[in-house]
Amino acid sequence: MKEKLKKIVADAIKEVNSALKEADVLNVKSKFLGKKSELSLLMKDIKNMSVEDKKIYGPLFNKIKTDLELKINEKLEEIQSKIDIHLDETLPTDEEIGSLHPISIVAKDVTDILKRMGFTIVNGPEMEKEYYNFEALNIPKTHPARDMQDTYWLSNNDLLRTHTSPNQVRAMQKFNAPLRICAPGRCFRNEDMDHSHETTFFQLEGMVIDKNVSISNLIYVMEGMLKEIFKSDVKVRLRPGFFPFVEPGFELDCSCLICGGKGCSTCKNSGWIELCPCGMIHPNVLKESNIDPEIYSGFAFGLGLTRLAMMKYKISDIRILNSGDLRKLSEFNIE
Ligand code: DAH
């Protein structure tokens, strides 16, 4: 037995000494001290030994173990200290300090504002059921509005959602009325890409349902939200716009931020910029989600977050946003 132990110790020390890397030392450790090591197997035999042998071998095994552990730890420290010597912190590195993506920043800005106005943030799946994306929003299979929202269909007949509006339905069916939610998220459409069209973009859906909610409430909330977003005294106006899930539906314009409404090239001399479709929720949409339109009314809006980020950071090509090209993205001087 003693001979066996001597050999184990000698082998172990030899291997520790010749180890070059931390990983080598750890391998030696598990080979000689691990549960399946020869030493551990021999130790199991102690219980079958005579009392005298136990007195000898018990402490001997312990000593061997602690000595080997010590030796291994010394070797590890030695290797680690050598690594430190090679680390020259004065050498230049390629690392750059990152920043949040422009879309993440505007999404956070807007949701922070809406949270203060009492909105709850919700979200839903990007792979959506046809029912939530279209049917429950008063867009039946044969409706021409589906043409404007061509998307990617999945093999199980689900689709990539074309807008954040399905969150309206999910929220109504989960929480019923009264309700005040917003839902930022990624949307998809089958688009030919150019500087202002992407297959993937971001929107933020907003929805308020309560008793006696009117168009005045819609205007008040939108104006309040946009004033805070742009940190200036923007005016809003509504033009008629068609969306099957609202009645009446509007295109909301805000006074041009560049010229203050006087007329410039950005607003094509009109003084207004088209910003956010919205409207009073269609009774069919409320009914479909078990909310009685005789008792409750509400409004909804779909703010284009991608558009907002492009306006805020003066990004002229939408494709930059999803490109992952840090050289381009870091041009926007984002705080
Ligand atoms: N979901 C619409 C789209 O992407 C935008 C929209 C229009 C959202 C009117 C609304 C709304 O909530 O009321 O084209």
- pLDDT tier, 125 (very low <50, low <70, confident <90, very high otherwise): very high
Cβ-contact 326, 314 below 8 angstroms? no
Give yes or no for residue 118 having a pLDDT over 70: yes
Amino acid residing at 147: D
Look at the chain and report how many structural domains it folds into. 2
Q: Are residues 69 and 160 in the same domain?
A: no
Give yes or no for residue 64 having a pLDDT over 80: yes
Would residue 289 count as lying in a domain?
yes
Q: Are residues 291 and 143 in the same domain?
A: yes
Give the three-state DSSP class for 222.
Answer: helix
Nearest-10 crossing angle of helices 305-312, 102-116: 110
- pLDDT tier, 211 (very low <50, low <70, confident <90, very high otherwise): very high
CA angle 90-91-96, nearest 5°? 100
Distance 324 CA to ligand 1 centre (A): 28
Distance 302 CA to ligand 1 centre (A): 4
**Atom nearest to 205 CA in ligand 1:** 12
Would residue 31 count as lying in a domain?
yes
**Residue 37 CB-density burial (10 A; 0-12 exposed, 13-18 middle, 19+ buried):** middle
Mean pLDDT computed over 56-78: 90
Q: Are residues 70 and 150 in the same domain?
A: no
Q: Are residues 57 and 110 in the same domain?
A: no
Which residues have C-beta within 8 Å of that of residue 200, sequence separation ≥ 6?
186, 187, 188, 322
Give yes or no for residue 254 having a pLDDT over 80: yes
Would residue 244 count as lying in a domain?
yes
Judged by average pLDDT, the poorest of 18-27, 93-102, 218-227, 313-322 is 93-102
Indicate the top mutation candidate among 138, 160, 278, 282 to test ligand 1's pocket, ranked by most ligand atoms within 8 A of CB: 278
Q: Are residues 297 and 172 in the same domain?
A: yes
- Name the phi and psi angles at 253, rounded to 5: -105, 150
Structural tokens at position 55: 């007195």
pLDDT score of 86: 66
pLDDT score of 84: 63
Q: Are residues 38 and 112 in the same domain?
A: no
How far apart are the C-alpha atoms of 335 and 321, rounded to whole Å? 17
Indicate the top mutation candidate among 179, 202, 301, 307 to test ligand 1's pocket, ranked by most ligand atoms within 8 A of CB: 301
pLDDT score of 115: 97
**Helices assigned H by DSSP within 87-245:** 102-116, 130-133, 145-148, 166-175, 215-230
Q: Which is more confidently placed, 3 or 163?
A: 163
| Nearest alpha carbon, ligand 1 atom 13 | 278
Structural domain range at position 23:
2-81
How far apart are the C-alpha atoms of 63 and 140, rounded to whole Å? 81
**What pTM did the predictor assign?**
0.71
pLDDT score of 335: 57
Cβ-contact 111, 140 below 8 angstroms? no
- pLDDT tier, 41 (very low <50, low <70, confident <90, very high otherwise): confident
Q: Are residues 191 and 148 in the same domain?
A: yes
Dump pLDDT digits (tens) for 145-197. 888 899 999 999 999 999 999 999 999 999 999 999 999 999 999 988 888 88
| Nearest alpha carbon, ligand 1 atom 14 | 163
- pLDDT tier, 212 (very low <50, low <70, confident <90, very high otherwise): very high
Give the three-state DSSP class for 254.
Answer: strand
Q: Which is more confidently placed, 335 or 59?
A: 59
Q: Are residues 183 and 320 in the same domain?
A: yes
Cβ-contact 184, 203 below 8 angstroms? yes
pLDDT score of 272: 92
Sign of CA dihedral 262, 265, 266, 272: positive
Q: Are residues 148 and 44 in the same domain?
A: no
Would residue 270 count as lying in a domain?
yes
Distance 196 CA to ligand 1 centre (A): 18
Residue 299's nearest CA partner among 207, 204, 171 is: 207
User: Between the ranges 48-57, 280-289, 325-334, where is the mean pLDDT highest?
Assistant: 280-289
Structural tokens at position 180: 């005040």
Number of H helices, E strands in the chain: 12, 9
Longest Cα–Cα distance in the chain: 104
How far apart are the C-alpha atoms of 215 and 178, rounded to whole Å? 17
Amino acid residing at 195: H
Indicate the top mutation candidate among 163, 281, 303 to test ligand 1's pocket, ranked by most ligand atoms within 8 A of CB: 163
Dump pLDDT digits (tens) for 261-298. 888 887 889 999 888 999 999 999 999 999 999 999 99
Indicate the top mutation candidate among 122, 165, 275, 303 to test ligand 1's pocket, ranked by most ligand atoms within 8 A of CB: 165
**Atom nearest to 168 CA in ligand 1:** 12
pLDDT score of 45: 84
Q: Are residues 106 and 77 in the same domain?
A: no
Distance 248 CA to ligand 1 centre (A): 12
| Nearest alpha carbon, ligand 1 atom 8 | 302
How far apart are the C-alpha atoms of 247 and 278, rounded to whole Å? 10
- pLDDT tier, 256 (very low <50, low <70, confident <90, very high otherwise): confident
Structural tokens at position 291: 């909310």
Would residue 92 count as lying in a domain?
no
Judged by average pLDDT, the poorest of 71-75, 198-202, 313-317, 328-332 is 328-332
Mean pLDDT computed over 243-263: 91
Structural tokens at position 316: 């002229």
Amino acid residing at 53: D
The CATH number given to whatever domain includes residue 300 is 3.30.930.10
Q: Which whole-number Å values give the CA distances from 302 to 49, 137, 245, in the listed order? A: 81, 13, 12
Give the three-state DSSP class for 14.
Answer: helix
Average pLDDT, the chain: 91
Would residue 89 count as lying in a domain?
no
Dump pLDDT digits (tens) for 69-115. 999 999 998 888 877 666 777 888 777 777 889 999 999 999 999 99
Say what the alpha-carbon torsion angle 10, 13, 15, 21 is, to the nearest 10 degrees: 180
Would residue 97 count as lying in a domain?
no
Q: Are residues 75 and 217 in the same domain?
A: no
pLDDT score of 1: 81
Ligand 1 binding residues, C-beta < 6 A = 163, 165, 205, 243, 246, 249, 277-279, 300-302
Would residue 90 count as lying in a domain?
no
pLDDT score of 334: 61
- In the beta sheet, which residues pair with residue 276? 252
Q: Are residues 146 and 268 in the same domain?
A: yes
pLDDT score of 97: 75
- pLDDT tier, 302 (very low <50, low <70, confident <90, very high otherwise): very high
